[in-house]
């Protein structure tokens, strides 16, 4: 089983972000949230007594915004309520402007062994355009600092930002390559309701077209490959085998518990004979007050009021299995793969009992899924 912990607070909201995050400088609000979060963890610990945890991921928001004592309390609460003896990966997301040496030392002391840093760009004009608080110099400095304490550091990059070019993308990947073991590279998505969408509609910011962004991603892919990174999932690249085991668990449909406002969970309740029986997904309230009330008003984890809950039928579970597995380099077991129209076969590889998408197939994956799953 895996654990995800959501820390929704940031110093400011980035212009492109539609995640469940809040600009917050109210120490009492953060304290109250963490109190509810730790209570949810305790309730779950009682409900899943003895559950062995494989990976933990603290995401956000900006978890590195929390002070040392808050992180220590959170980590110690997880250890008190779950069996962490088998944890092979414990990640925390950090932003350059809020990461420092004291926090890195505390992370290592608490058993965290992987640092994911939100770089997004190494060009200051892009960082300003999307509302990031750090500059490129600080990003590099904090990656180097993290490397003094951890041998597994990841960086996030966004491709398709306002001032991106092929030369810039190539330079960014080449600069980061010797400093990190993992790269997550995402094409910019213009989400409805974000300030970035508003600025684009007003003509105040211009971004590359979808085709131009795909060309930029191709450059990022080629450069990462030349620098020794292996693409093991649509947006993720690793070297020296340093994949994100936690995220890989999502794509292979491992069970996970999500704690915090808006956090999602996935559980399989089966008799062992039918793995598609009684699979459930649920999510906590996104709203902080509703989340806190839901957690504080019950003594039992199973009775926490949720914003969303779905029991997956066999068809839904199967479609999800295919959609997630085809995101990965490994792909889908051949016997589980649906039939593929002849005109789409060129996008697939078939070897060693698995069916996977070729590079050109991953670029049009959504269209392919519509065809093969009839969704």
- What would the pLDDT profile of 307-363 be if each residue is shown by its tens digit? 999 999 999 999 999 999 999 999 999 999 999 999 999 999 999 999 999 999 999
The per-residue pLDDT for 122 is 98
pLDDT > 90 in the chain, percent: 93
- b/e string for 277-303 if b means 16 or more Cβ within 10 A? eebebbbbbbebeebbebbeeeeebee
Sign, CA torsion 218/127/15/232? positive
pLDDT bucket at 212, cuts 50 / 70 / 90:
very high
Query: Would you state the pLDDT for residue 49?
Result: 87
Question: For position 211, what pLDDT does the model report?
Answer: 94
In tens, the pLDDT along 220-278 reads 999 999 999 999 999 999 999 999 999 999 999 999 999 999 999 999 876 555 555 58
Confidence of residue 187 (pLDDT cuts 50, 70, 90): very high
Q: What dihedral do alpha carbons 15, 17, 18, 20 form, nearest 10°?
A: -120
Q: Please work out, in degrees rounded to the nearest 5, the angle formed at the alpha carbon of residue 133 by the alpha carbons of 129 and 139.
A: 100
- Quick one: pLDDT at residue 18? 87
Nearest to 78 by CA among 61, 68, 66, 90: 90
Residue 27 CB: number of other CB atoms within 10 A?
9
The residue assigned the tokens 């005109």 is 343
2-248 has which fold? Answer: pyruvate-formate lyase- activating enzyme (3.80.30)
Please give the helix or strand (H or E) that residue 172 lies within, else none: helix 166-176
Query: Cα separation of 176 and 185, whole Å?
Result: 12
- Residue-range domain boundaries for the chain: 2-248, 330-375
């Amino acid at each position: 089983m895996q654990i995800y912990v959501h820390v929704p607070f940031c110093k400011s909201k980035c212009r492109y972000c539609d995640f469940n995050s809040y600009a917050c400088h109210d120490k009492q609000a953060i304290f109250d949230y963490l109190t509810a979060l730790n209570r949810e963890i305790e309730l779950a610990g009682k409900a899943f007594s003895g559950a062995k945890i494989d990976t933990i991921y603290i995401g956000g928001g900006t978890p590195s915004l929390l002070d040392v004592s808050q992180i220590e309390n959170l980590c110690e609460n997880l250890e008190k309520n779950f069996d962490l003896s088998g944890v092979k990966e414990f990640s925390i997301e950090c932003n350059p402007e809020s990461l420092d040496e004291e926090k890195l030392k505390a992370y290592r002391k608490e058993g965290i062994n992987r640092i994911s840093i939100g770089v997004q760009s190494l060009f200051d004009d892009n960082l300003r355009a999307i509302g990031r608080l750090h500059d490129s110099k600080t990003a590099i400095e904090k990656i180097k600092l993290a490397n003094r304490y951890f041998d597994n550091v990841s960086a996030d990059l966004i491709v398709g930002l306002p001032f991106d070019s092929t030369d810039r993308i190539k330079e960014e990947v080449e600069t980061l390559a010797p400093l990190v073991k993992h790269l997550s590279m995402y094409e910019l998505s213009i989400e409805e309701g974000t300030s970035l969408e508003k600025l684009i509609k007003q003509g105040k910011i211009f971004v590359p077209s979808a085709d131009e962004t795909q060309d930029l991603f191709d450059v990022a892919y080629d450069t990462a490959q030349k620098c020794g990174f292996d693409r093991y999932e649509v947006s993720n690249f690793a070297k020296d085998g340093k994949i994100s085991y936690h995220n890989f668990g999502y794509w292979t449909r491992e069970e996970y518990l999500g704690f915090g406002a808006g956090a999602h969970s996935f559980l399989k309740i089966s008799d062992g004979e039918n793995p598609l029986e009684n699979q459930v997904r649920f999510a906590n309230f996104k709203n902080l007050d509703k989340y806190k009330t839901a957690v504080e008003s019950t003594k039992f984890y199973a009775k926490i009021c949720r914003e969303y809950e779905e029991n997956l039928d066999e068809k839904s579970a199967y479609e999800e299995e295919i959609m997630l597995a085809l995101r990965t380099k490994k792909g889908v077991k051949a016997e589980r793969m649906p039939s593929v129209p002849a005109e789409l076969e060129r996008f697939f590889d078939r070897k060693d009992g698995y069916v996977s998408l070729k590079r050109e197939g991953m670029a049009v994956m959504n269209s392919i899924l519509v065809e093969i799953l009839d969704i």
